[in-house]
Chains A and B, each alone.
Chain A
Amino acid sequence: MLFNSYAFLLVFLPAAIAIASVVDRYPNRRRPVLIALSLIFYAYWDVRFLPLMVVSILANWYLAKAYAAIRSGALIAAGIVGNLAVLGFFKYTNFLADNFAALGIPAGHIDVALPLGISFFTFHHVMYLVDLRGGRAPLYSLDRYALYICYFPQAISGPLARWSEVMDQFGQQMFRPGWEERCAFGVTLIVLGLLQKVLLADPVGAAVEPVFAEALKGPVIDGKSWIALGFAFQLFFDFSGYSDIAIGTALILGVKLPQNFDAPFRATSIRDFWRRWHMTLSRFLRDYIYIPLGGNRFGLSRQIAALLATMALGGLWHGAGWTFVIWGVLQGLAIACAVLWRRTLPGPPALVGWAATAIFSILSFVIFRAGSIEAAWHIYEGLMILPQYRLEGRNAVLAAAACAFLLPPTYEICRRLTATPQLAVPAGLGVAMVAVLVALGESQSYQFIYFQF
C-alpha cells in the first residue's frame, strides 16, 4: 500500500488509528493488534510475500533466543549470512548472472519479484543480531521483535530505526499525556510529506523521466541534460516526503521514529551531506560496516579503504547494478578526499564547501538514476550544450531546487508550525490535505522511488 494512495490515507490510516485507539486501554492487546495491522498493510501489496516476512521474523527471533541460551557466536554469524543470502537471492541473483555472462560463464536468470522492503527488514535483522552478539541488545519478546521488523510505518522504506530507538516504545499507551500535541506534530509531518511528494517530487519526476529515457537510446540534445540534474531533488523530496509520512504516522500511534533527512542540500561538505542525507542508513553504514572494517583506527590507508568499501556496498544496497556501485564508490572517493583535505589544508569557506558539495551530489545522482554507464555519459555529454530558455520541466526543477537549498528541514518547519496551537495552521493544513487528495487522483502520481531498493 502506498502512503500516497486513497487506500492508505482514507481507509487504512483512519482505520488503524481508530483500532489502535480502541485497544489502547488494553495493554496486552496493543502489540498484537499493531502486528496484525502491519501484516495487513504488507500483504496488501502482494500477499505472496507475507510468508517470507513471517518466516523471516520467526527464524530470526528463534535464532536470537537460541543464542541467548547457548551463546554461540556461530549462530549469529549464520543468521547474518542467512539474511544476506535471502536478500542476495531476491535482489542480486540476476545481477550476478549478467556479470557471469559478461565473463563468458553461462548463468540463468530467475524470474522472481523483489519482496517489498526486503532491503530494509534485512538490515533491521542484521542490526539487532550484531548488537545481540556484542552484548548491547537484550532478547525481546516475539511480539516486540515482530513489530520491530514489520511495523507498518517503517517496514517498507524505513527510516532504518535501531532496535534501541523503538523497541521499548512498542506497546506504550497511545493516549498518554501529551498525545494531542504529538498527534498535531504527526499530522503536520504527514501533510508536509505528502506536499513534498505531490508538489515537488512528482512534477520533477515527470520532467526528468523522458530525458533519462532519451539518454538510454543515445545522446541527449538541446541541453535537456540540465533537466536531468533535477533527479537529485526528485529523489530527495520523494524519500524525505516518504520518511516524513512514516514518522508522522508512527507519531500519531505513539512511536517516535528517528529523523531521516536534515536539509542535505544545505550541507557545506560531503561528510556533512552524508550526516544529513538518509541519516539512518548513514548511521547503519558507519556503525555496522565502516567501523567493523577498521574505521579510522588503523591509519589513513586502511581508513580510505574502509570508506570506499562501505560506500560501494551502500551503493550496491540501493540497486543491483554497476551504476549504483560506481555512485557509491564516487561518494567514498569524495569523502576520502575530504578526509585528506582536512588533514593537510584549512577548510574552505562555507560557501565554497556548499557549492562544491551541491554540485558533486547533484552530478553524481545522475549515475544513480541513469540505468547504464553509457546513458549517464550521454547526460554528462549533454551538459556541454547550454540549456534552451524554455526547457520542458524547467519550472518544476527550479522550484524543487529552490526548496531544497532554501528551506529548513521539515522537522524544523513542523516545530515552528506547532510551536503553539494556532488554529490557522490546521485550517491551512486541511486545505493542503484536500489539495493533495485531489492531486493524488491523477494517475500520474509516481511510486515512491525508494520502494525499489
Chain B
Amino acid sequence: MTLATAQTDPAAGTSSTEAREALRWRRWLAAFLLTTGLLGTFVYAGVVLVDPFSTGRFTLMQGVDVASRNARLLKGGVARDPRFDAAVFGSSTGFPLDPRRIGNGTGWAVAQLAIPASLPPSQLLVARTFQRYHSNRANLQIYTLDELWCRPGDPAAGAWGAFPEWVYESPDREYLSRILFPEALTAAARRLVIRAGLMEAPARADGFMTTNLTPVPRTKLAALVRPSANPAPDNRFPALELLAAHIAALPADSRLAFAFMPPYVNMLPVAGSPAEARLQACKARAREIAGLRPNTAWLDLMTENALTTNAMNYYDEVHTTPAAADEIAAAIVGVLKEKDLVKR
C-alpha cells in the first residue's frame, strides 16, 4: 500500500487502519465472488459440454456412452443411439428383459428402454424419443404392459418422484436449467474416464442392467389375497387411450409388439369377479388398439400359467427373476416370429 492511500480518508471519515481493514474485507468478498463465479462456471460448463447422459445437446461428444447407473437418466442417451433399431419399453416389470435374447432370436439390434418406477406417460415419452431418433428406418417397438395401463383416473397420478422428462424431450432453456446436479457431475466425470479407457461403463450399451432385488419370503406371496373388486365400474382406461394416440402417430412401417407382463398368480383377480371383468376389458381394449395396425404382435402372459403359478419365478408380487425374464423374452421372440416380424 502506498503512503498516499494509507492517509486518512476524509470522505468516509475513517482512519488509515480502518481503510486498510476495509480494503482487506473487500478483497475477501471479491475472493468469494471470484471463487464461486469461476468454479461454478467451470463446473457448469464442464457438465454441459461433457453431456453426462449422452443426449447429444450442447456437446462435441456425439457418441453414446452409458456413464450412469440411474436408469431414468442413462436411457435418454440409449434411446437415441443409432446402433439400435428396436427397443423394449415399459416399467420395472419389463426392465429385466435382456434385449440380446430378443435380438438373437429376431435379428433386431434391441435397446432396453424399460424404466423402473415410470408411469405410462413417461414410458410413452421414452418411446417417442426412440422414434424421433430412429424415424429414418424401419424399427421394432416392444411395449410391455402391466397393471399401470389398466388403472382408472389420471395416468400420471401416483408418480414415484418426478420423472426426468427433460433428459428425453425439453426446450434448451429447461435442459440447461436442470443439468447441474450431483449425479450429472459424477456421470460427466465418469464419461470422461470411460472415454479415456480407464473404466468400464456401469451398464451395457443397450441399457440392460442386472437386477439384484432381495426376494420377499415365498410365504408372503402365498398369503396374498387375489383382488375381486372393480376400482372403477366405467371400464375406462385413460393410459391405453394415450397409447392409442401414440401408436396412431407412428409410421406405417413400424413393427410393434404388445406384451402383458405376468405378475405372480395371487395378484391376478379372482375368476368371475368384477376385478377380472375389468382386467379382461383392459386387455380387450389394448388388443383392439393393437389390431388397428398392421405388423403387430400380441402376447398375453397376465394369466394363470406355468410361469405365474411358480413363486420361484418372482422376487416379489410383480418382479420376475432373470431366469423367468428369459422365458418371457423367448415368448416375445416366439410371437414376433409367428407374425413374421423378424428382421430380414
Contact = CB atoms under 8 A, between A and B. Distances in A.
Do A and B assemble together?
A: yes
Interface of A: 6, 177-178, 180-181, 183-184, 187, 421-423, 425-427, 429-431, 433-434, 437-444
B31 to A, nearest CB: 4
Determine the main DSSP class of A at the interface with B.
helix
Interface string B173-190: 000011111111100000
18 contacts: A6-B177, A177-B12, A177-B14, A180-B29, A184-B29, A187-B29, A421-B21, A423-B27, A423-B28, A426-B31, A426-B32, A429-B32, A430-B35, A434-B36, A434-B43, A437-B180, A439-B181, A442-B181
Contacts of B28: 180, 184, 421-423, 425-426
B83 interface: no
A431 B35 CA distance: 7
A431 B42 CA distance: 12
A445 to B, nearest CB: 9
B224 interface: no
Interface string B33-48: 1111001100100000
Interface string B6-38: 000000111000100110111111011111100
Contact of B29 (A422, A426, A434, A443): A426
B162 interface: yes
Nearest to B40: A434
Contact of B180 (A421, A425, A438): A438
Question: Interface centre among A422, A423, A444, by most B CB within 10 Å?
Answer: A423
Given A6-B177, A426-B28, A438 B36 contact: no
A442 B40 CA distance: 16
Max chain B C-beta neighbours (<10 A), residue from A6, A427, A439? A427
Contacts of A181: 21-22, 25
Given A430-B35, A431-B35, A433-B36, A441 B178 contact: yes
B272 interface: no
Nearest to B185: A438
Top 9 closest A-B pairs, CB basis? A430-B35, A441-B181, A180-B25, A426-B32, A426-B31, A421-B24, A430-B36, A421-B28, A441-B180
B22 A180 contact: yes
Contacts of A423: 27-28, 31
A177 B8 CA distance: 14
A426 B34 CA distance: 9
A438 B182 contact: yes
Nearest to B37: A430
Given A434-B39, A443-B161, A421 B182 contact: no
B26 to A, nearest CB: 5
Contact of B13 (A177, A430, A434): A177
Nearest to A180: B25
B39 A430 contact: yes
Contacts of B185: 438
A187 B13 contact: no
Contacts of A438: 43, 180-182, 185
